[in-house]
Structure 1
Amino acid sequence: MLFRTLSSALLALLLGIATLSFTACDDDDKAQPNKGELDLEFENVVGTQALTLGQAYTSTNGDAFTLSKLNYYISNIKLTKADGSEWAEPESYHLVKHDQTSTRTFTLQEVPTGDYTKITFTIGVDSTRNVSGAQTGALDPLNDMFWTWNSGYIFLKLEGTSPQAANGQLVFHIGGFKSPNNTIRSVSPPLPQGTVLKVRAEKAPAVHYKADVLKLFTGPNVIRFAELSNTMGGPSSVKVANNYAAGMFRIDHVHAD
């Protein structure tokens, strides 16, 4: 009888140990991180030169200009793997302000680990958020990138001066989300050939973009300041939006490892 009692107790003990072992293994598996981060940096340039507010430049069309402001939205960021599967950043709205260095770099968090071969983002703000009224964070109207709930956000704001402009002033406030003057544009600047963004829990790749101001005034549409120096939506803004979608943003280099 005592033997049976001891055997039952021993069996129960062994079962308990086994259960704890499996539970511990299961907890260890769940504890393994499967998320990582990706850093994005935007450097504003004028051709081959770094953009400095207040400095004189010349466009590829021969127009002289000086900038006092450059802001733009980067939103709806998506990462794509070689098999075509995608991850989209939730609440994906970032406002880059040239005069605020901290806004030129931001981190995508909680990115599923994996090997990514493409990044897509929107220059501007999607139509849903354009009609959602006053919001917070990057979309806060206090950022001075919002017209009204009816006309929505300014997607890109460039201000400055030029002797070729009719009144000497450059005012390019590009926005509008309704046809035929929709200026929302999405782009996927290619990664350097052979580059794969390996997002891992223990390391965060970094992608360095260059945004070339000169591309605003050349591309599908030649912009001469004597003819166009002030636009706040409408057909003229569509021309500028088509220009910046055609090549304003490019990936300069990647820290992949």
Structure 2
Amino acid sequence: MKKITYICSLIIFLLVSSCNNDSNAIETSAVEITFDNRISASQDLDLGTTVYMNQNNESVVTNELKYIISNIALIQDNGTVFEYPKEDSYFVINEADASSLTLSLTGIPVGNYTQISFGIGVDQSKYPLDGGVLNFIPQAEATGMLWNWAAGYKFIKFEGTFTPQGGTESPFVIHVGSHGQNLDNYKFVTLPLANTINIATGNTASVTVEAYIQRIIDATNQIKLEDTSDIQVDPVNAPRIAKNLETSFSAE
């Protein structure tokens, strides 16, 4: 009889615990983040076609644009910060691959969100090739965003042609990443959303992040391509490009 009473009590305890756990469960849903690469707010980007004039009177055509987005976080109107799992939070945005431009994130707590944060590149804690992002390394390698296993990642790959005023067309190459502890070009930005987004159970919310590529060479720092058209492992100009990238994004 005591044994039966014990078993019944155990079953009731497990049922109550299960109900309590369900009531404490956090409701989650999904969000899609789309990256819209543009020349500027008023001019769209078509690879190999769109021509724009930089502040040094050089006409520029973009043939390739790729960059790494990482460590995504969403901030609610009450200040609560949700950090997307870091091991799943590394992405290559490739203008030539439409499927890479929209990131589908699940497991986002329901709520009203007013800001989005993300890194541009790979942070030092995962650099050069940390085991925590082994699932990202094949993607980075396949998209040409790795120099090699020793040097690590290219945070941005920006290539095309430029023509100085009265000059001839020439190629430019901008590949920026971090190199050891002394040249850390990783940047982290927090952007206000133009409108609060409501992430609710059963619905997929959407956010658009516009990237203004003109600012890569025309922002805090002005890069004259005629003077320096190949920026890669460059301790002077790579940090200038990285600084410009901080101002290159806007969220809706």
Q: Which has the larger radius of gyration?
A: 1
After superposition, what is the alpha-carbon deviation per residue over 1:1-48, rounded to whole angstroms, capped at 9, x for unaligned?
Answer: xxxxxxxxxxx9xx99xx6xx769928945977111111000111122
**Paired residues, what number?**
233
Please name the residue that 1:161 is paired with.
Answer: 161
Cα offset, 1:51, TM superposition: 1.0
CA pair 25-172 structure 1, distance change in 2 beyond 3 A: closer
Select 1:139's aligned residue among 118, 137, 140: 137
Select 1:119's aligned residue among 103, 113, 116: 116
AA partner of residue 78 (structure 2): D
Tell me, yes or no, if structure 1 residue 66 matches structure 2 residue 64: no
SS in 2 for 1:80: strand
Q: What's the C-alpha RMSD, in Å, of the aligned pairs?
A: 2.8
| Alignment gaps of 5+ in structure 1 | 1-11
TM-score normalised per structure 2: 0.82
TM-score normalised per structure 1: 0.80
Please, which moves more after superposition, 36-45 or 227-236?
A: 227-236
Mapped partners of 1:64, 1:182: distance in 2: 30
Mapped partners of 1:105, 1:30: distance in 2: 33
AA partner of residue 81 (structure 2): E
Which structure 1 residue ranges, 4+ long, deviate > 6 Å from structure 2? none
1:1-257 paired onto structure 2 within 5 Å: 26=19, 29=22, 34-47=27-40, 48-61=42-55, 62-90=57-85, 91=87, 92-132=89-129, 136-140=134-138, 141-164=141-164, 168-192=170-194, 195-233=195-233, 234-245=235-246, 247-251=247-251, 253=252
Mapped partners of 1:175, 1:155: distance in 2: 5
Give the structure with the higher percent strand: 2
Kept in 2: contact 1:181–1:235 (CA 8 A): no
Mapped partners of 1:29, 1:45: distance in 2: 45
Mapped partners of 1:131, 1:33: distance in 2: 35
CA pair 242-28 structure 1, distance change in 2 beyond 3 A: closer
Kept in 2: contact 1:122–1:187 (CA 8 A): yes
